[in-house]
Amino acid sequence: MARPLRFWFPLPPDYGWSGVRGDVLAGLTLGVVLIPQAMAYGLLAGVPAVYGLYAALVPLLVYTLLASTPHVSVGPTALASLLCLSGIGHLAEPGSPEYIAYAVVLAGLTGLIQLAFGVLRMGGMVSLLSRPVLSGFVSAASVLIVTSQLKPILGLDMPRTAYLYETLVEFGRHVGSVHGPTAALGLSTLAILILGKRFLPRAPVMLIWIVLATVLVYLLRLDRMGIDVVGDIPEGLPAFNLPILDAEAGWQLLPVALVLALISFVETLSIGNSFATHHGYYRIQPNRELIALGLSKIAGSFFAAIPTSASFSRSAVVEEGGGRGPLSGAIAFLLLGAVLLFFTPLFYYLPLTMLAAVIIFSVGKLFDLVEMRRLWKLAPREFAVLFVTFLFTLFAGLQYGIAGGVALSLFFMFLRAARPHLAELGRIPGTNAFRNIARFADAEVDPDLLIVRFDAELYFGNAEFFGDRILAMAEEKGPQLRVVILDAHTINDLDTTGLHALEQLHDKLGSRRIELYLSGVIGPVRDILYRSGLMERMGVGSHFLSIQDAIRHFREEGGGRHWDLPAVQHD
């Protein structure tokens, strides 16, 4: 393989003809899986099924050529399609020309945002979405997606709704309108997909059953019995058109575009990192991924593509099929192009209820019950973040769900920063080790000493808490207290507000005839103490390398300090 190709494309060192063969097979498998999924997700997004195929075409090729991973497959996904529907459904009637234009513009706007983030090297923004936020959002989205498919899979005569509670109310009102043949075909498809995954995981069960059922509908003319079918699909590749974005539409679409940009980026990194860790011959480059995702969406919007994202199930198909390089994506692109050029009439009798079953089957595993149980037992605060995100997403809307989860995560982050862990220490019997007396019941505590450890940087957000809490602990010790020893090795930074709090603590303790010793202060913090003059005010005799040195100095009334290296390191 030529060096320039290896420099740009993520290829293993031993990639050769065997690698090419694996990529071809993986690409063909990917194309076979992608076709029905793309049509299903197009319908979920509120556009004709063919627009799902368009979204699977150009974005897949552009991303394949630019990405830092050979395994991630992009295209229409359930989550991206649902976000599209929820973000545009109030602006135009789904399926209308105006709605389709909005969907294409949304794809381009999302791409522009991701491209800007990539150029500005903002790949670190993924930290805005913690695991509980993402888990709660995706779990709620899976519920919304499943409920949105109740109408097509059961053949219900019910209106389209925007919110979960409206969907449930309409379902209750129209449950009597279930269309028997439609429900039988849809539910049997769902059962076959589940059983096929369980007992024949490597067989193309989905493709075989879709082909057989489509032929059955054609031969028996089940469409005349009320089973809705895809109908006419335009032949040919999508035409080049420049999406028109006016200022008013841009402002209306911006919130959902931001959510889409962030969610698709997080999905791509999560999927890519899981495969990169397993294979080891490439690493995910976040900023390159942002640029690849952005350009794939922008290019796709010129060819009628709706919003896209990374698909875990299709990426797993590539990896399990033996794909090791970007050729697999190119092969899937060629197969999909051939279908659009020559074979779209074959999908005329494809039942919509089967596509609904494909959607439900694909998103069922997104409901993360395991993570909910784990956080309930392990981290109640993080479970609260997950649960709030889940509820916000279900009842307020997808973009508000993300906003609520991020806001609650930031609140808990600031709360932890403002009220960090502060512990009184005692000596473990027979040792010079000092531990939290709340955790070690046998730790020895001297009535005339208060040993405190502050486990955070000392800055404006927690400075008041720091001073008030230590003074309160000193008050609890009573009049026999003579020295407060601050184990400062865990204080990794100090700002001017924190410095002021330390000065006030020194002065207030001094007014009570209590000395303040600092133990284990790290170099950068010592520098600040020195430059501010507080070190000089406190005196060199108040700084120690260890708690034991400070105690020995106190017990010996200023005697030898018993160390080889100075604790201050300043003249």
Domain definitions of the chain by residue range: 21-89+97-408, 422-555
Looking at residue 564, its pLDDT comes to 43
Looking at residue 565, its pLDDT comes to 45
422-427 and 434-436 as β-strands: parallel, antiparallel, unpaired?
Answer: antiparallel
pLDDT at position 540 over 90: no
pLDDT at position 570 over 60: no
Q: Please provide the average confidence, as pLDDT, over all residues in the chain.
A: 89
Confidence label for 7 from pLDDT (cuts 50, 70 and 90): low
Q: How far is CA 489 from CA 399, 416, 524, 526, 541, in A?
A: 42, 19, 11, 11, 17
- Of the candidate ranges 205-209, 222-226, 407-411, 420-424, the one whose mean pLDDT is the lowest: 407-411
Strand partners, 453: 423, 487
Tell me what percent of the residues of the chain surpass a pLDDT of 70.
95
Token readout for 371 is 């993570």
Q: Which residues 6+ apart lie within 8 Å of 416 measured at CB?
A: none
- In whole angstroms, give the CA distance from residue 551 to residue 548: 5
User: Helix or strand or coil: residue 451?
Assistant: strand
For residue 494, the 8-state DSSP code is B
pLDDT in tens, 426-453: 999 999 899 999 999 999 999 999 999 9
- The pLDDT of 297-326, averaged and rounded, is 92
- The pLDDT of 118-138, averaged and rounded, is 83
SS (H, E, C) 50-89: HHHHHHCCHHHHHHHHHCCCCCCEEECCHHHHHHHHHHHC
| Range list of H helices, 364-462 | 369-378, 380-396, 398-418
pLDDT at position 566 over 60: no
Token readout for 197 is 């995954």
Looking at residue 541, its pLDDT comes to 83
Cβ contact 51:38 at 8 Å: no
One DSSP character per residue, 240-291 reads P------HHHHHHHHHHHHHHHHHHHHHHHHHHHHHHHHH-S----HHHHHH
CA dihedral 60, 66, 67, 71 (to 10 degrees): 50
483-487 and 515-519 as β-strands: parallel, antiparallel, unpaired?
Answer: parallel
Q: Work out the end-to-end distance of the chain between its first and last CA atoms, rounded to an integer number of angstroms.
A: 62
Longest dimension (CA), the chain: 102
pTM of the model: 0.78
Q: Which residues 6+ apart lie within 8 Å of 496 measured at CB?
A: none
Could you count the other beta carbons within 10 Å of the beta carbon of residue 250? 14
Measured in residues, the chain has a length of 571
For residue 343, the 8-state DSSP code is I
Q: Check the CA dihedral 459-465-468-474 and report its sign.
A: negative
Looking at residue 275, its pLDDT comes to 85
Alpha carbon 63 to its chain centroid, in Å, reads 20
Token readout for 177 is 């309108």
- In whole angstroms, give the CA distance from residue 55 to residue 314: 14
**So what CATH class is 422-555?**
alpha beta
pLDDT at position 155 over 90: yes
CA dihedral 427, 428, 432, 435 (to 10 degrees): -70
